[in-house]
């Protein structure tokens, strides 16, 4: 039996296939050059899969999702996805994958990249030394709570309903993940909630505090209301180490935090499930940017969010932390040569497209080899 780790690449919709193609090139280079025990395959998903197989998640893809060690996912959404019939959408959407693999821990590292300081709307002195992780609960809360739906009322009005709901178990498992993560970093965790208004927020705060007191007293814990957190993220982001949020708040705060790196296009993410009986944990890696339909198919999307997601996969799932470090350094050194996709463009830099940026990272890897 082969010990090789299985990595499945899913381009998905919008700019997904473009950024995933570059990411796969980078992994193929690392595998060849470093003889890594990694097997690569592609899987169809979403609108493209529907056109070719009549299913948004073909059986082969479903099997690959279950059996792979890591999934590298591009993006989903946009006009192609919107045009799908409702039953196809129900079958193939990112939220469904997250739920079915129980991907409860979503990591979004926010690190200021000095070479990109100009691309950020924030001042240099605010950005300097910023290095934290948003840990977003990804499998529950407002995104999945029942009841949900749009109903017609007797008076002719319509009513939209979603439910913000968390159990103590759901809160504790993501909080535990956060405290353990904090122990591997600067031992500080800030938990975000809306405990002044919402019961689910009050429970969130109580459970995080109780777990801390029982098992993680060595980690410095603070609680912050989400509205204040939005301000603190752009006022003084250096204060954060691990930022623990629920599903909805993490979605919003991570877009705001993206400005610290200069562009949403730079942000990688890892979504992890619980460790199974076989010792493996489901793991999906994807750039945070989404499908960006306005620039899809033009070859101008920034592939670095996806490439940095591969670095996370190498570190967290594929047992190749050295390769992860090398890849992150290669991204910095590619940027240092002055190449920029449109989203991070600055005066005097060389404008490049998706493929050229992939080339720049490969050249940086070669230089360092």
Number of shown-chain residues binding ligand IPM (CB under 6 A): 6
Q: Which of residues 71-110 bind ligand IPM (CB under 6 A)?
A: 77, 94-95
Of the residues 194, 246, 285, 356, which is catalytic?
194
* 253 touches ligand IPM by CB under 6 A: no
Quick one: what does residue 343 bind among ligand IPM, Mg ion, none, with the CB cut-off 5 to 8 Å set by partner type?
Answer: none
Residue 197-236 contact track with ligand IPM, rule CB under 6 A, x = bound: ----------------------------------------
Decide if 291 contacts 76 (C-beta within 8 A): yes
- The DSSP bridge partners found for residue 222 are 190
> Is 194 one of the catalytic residues?
yes
* Beta strands, E only, the chain: 5-12, 38-42, 70-75, 105-111, 131-137, 149-152, 158-161, 188-193, 220-225, 242-245, 268-272, 283-287, 339-340, 350-351
Quick one: what does residue 190 bind among ligand IPM, Mg ion, none, with the CB cut-off 5 to 8 Å set by partner type?
Answer: none
Distance CA 308, CA 10 (A): 16
Distance CA 253, CA 68 (A): 30
Distance CA 267, CA 258 (A): 7
Quick one: what does residue 141 bind among Mg ion, ligand IPM, none, with the CB cut-off 5 to 8 Å set by partner type?
Answer: none
* Residue 343 CA: distances (Å) to CA of 221, 289, 360, 363: 36, 11, 16, 21
- The DSSP bridge partners found for residue 8 are 41, 71
Quick one: what does residue 94 bind among Mg ion, ligand IPM, none, with the CB cut-off 5 to 8 Å set by partner type?
Answer: ligand IPM
Q: Quick one: 58 or 250, whose CB is closer to Mg ion?
A: 250
Q: Which of residues 260-319 bind ligand IPM (CB under 6 A)?
A: 288, 290
* Shortest reach from residue 94's CB to ligand IPM, in Å: 6
Decide: helix, strand or coil at residue 223: strand
**CA distance from start to end of the chain:** 31
Rg (C-alpha) for the chain, rounded Å, is 21
> Is 89 one of the catalytic residues?
no
Quick one: what does residue 264 bind among ligand IPM, Mg ion, none, with the CB cut-off 5 to 8 Å set by partner type?
Answer: none
* Shortest reach from residue 137's CB to Mg ion, in Å: 14
Q: Which of residues 24-63 bind ligand IPM (CB under 6 A)?
A: none
* Shortest reach from residue 7's CB to ligand IPM, in Å: 20
Distance CA 255, CA 235 (A): 15
Number of Cβ atoms within 10 Å of the Cβ of 342: 15
Of the residues 82, 218, 227, 325, which is catalytic?
227
Of the residues 45, 81, 143, 285, which is catalytic?
143
Distance CA 149, CA 245 (A): 24
Q: Quick one: 77 or 92, whose CB is closer to ligand IPM?
A: 77
Distance CA 244, CA 223 (A): 9
> Is 143 one of the catalytic residues?
yes
Q: Quick one: 269 or 317, whose CB is closer to Mg ion?
A: 269
* 251 touches Mg ion by CB under 5 A: yes
- Residues making up the chain, counted from first to last: 369
| Contact footprint for ligand IPM (CB under 6 A) | 77, 94-95, 251, 288, 290
| Contact footprint for Mg ion (CB under 5 A) | 251
Catalytic center residues: 143, 194, 227, 251, 255
């Amino acid at each position: 039996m082969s010990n090789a780790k299985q990595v499945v690449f899913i381009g998905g919709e919008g700019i997904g296939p473009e950024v995933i193609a570059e990411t796969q090139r980078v992994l193929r280079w690392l595998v060849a050059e470093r003889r890594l025990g990694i097997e690569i395959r592609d899987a169809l998903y979403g609108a493209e899969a529907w056109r070719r197989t009549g299913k948004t998640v073909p059986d082969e893809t479903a099997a690959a999702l279950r059996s792979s060690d890591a999934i590298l996912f591009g993006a989903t959404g946009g006009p192609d996805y919107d045009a799908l019939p409702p039953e196809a959408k129900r079958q193939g959407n990112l939220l469904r994958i997250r739920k079915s693999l129980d991907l409860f821990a979503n990591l979004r590292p926010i690190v200021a990249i000095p070479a990109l300081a100009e691309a950020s709307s924030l001042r240099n002195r605010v950005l300097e030394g910023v290095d934290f992780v948003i840990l977003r609960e990804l499998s529950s809360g407002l995104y999945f709570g029942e009841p949900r739906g749009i109903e017609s009322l007797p008076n002719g009005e319509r009513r939209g309903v979603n439910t913000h709901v968390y159990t103590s178990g759901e809160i504790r498992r993501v909080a535990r993940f956060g405290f353990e993560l904090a122990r591997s970093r600067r031992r500080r965790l800030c938990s975000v909630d809306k405990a002044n208004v919402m019961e689910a927020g009050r429970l969130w705060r109580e459970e995080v505090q109780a777990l801390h007191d029982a098992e993680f007293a060595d980690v410095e814990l603070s609680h912050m209301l989400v509205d204040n957190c939005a301000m603190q993220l752009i006022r003084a982001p250096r204060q954060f180490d691990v930022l623990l949020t629920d599903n909805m708040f993490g979605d919003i705060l991570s877009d705001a935090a993206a400005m610290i790196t200069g562009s949403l296009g730079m942000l990688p993410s890892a979504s992890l499930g619980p460790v199974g009986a076989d010792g493996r944990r489901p793991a999906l890696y994807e750039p945070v940017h989404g499908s960006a339909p306005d620039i899809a198919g033009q070859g101008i999307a920034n592939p670095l969010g996806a490439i940095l997601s591969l670095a996370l996969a190498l570190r967290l799932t594929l047992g190749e932390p050295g390769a992860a470090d090398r890849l992150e350094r290669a991204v910095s050194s590619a940027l240092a040569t002055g190449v920029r996709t449109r989203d991070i463009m600055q005066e005097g830099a060389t404008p490049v497209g998706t493929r050229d940026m992939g080339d720049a990272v490969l050249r940086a890897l070669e230089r360092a080899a």
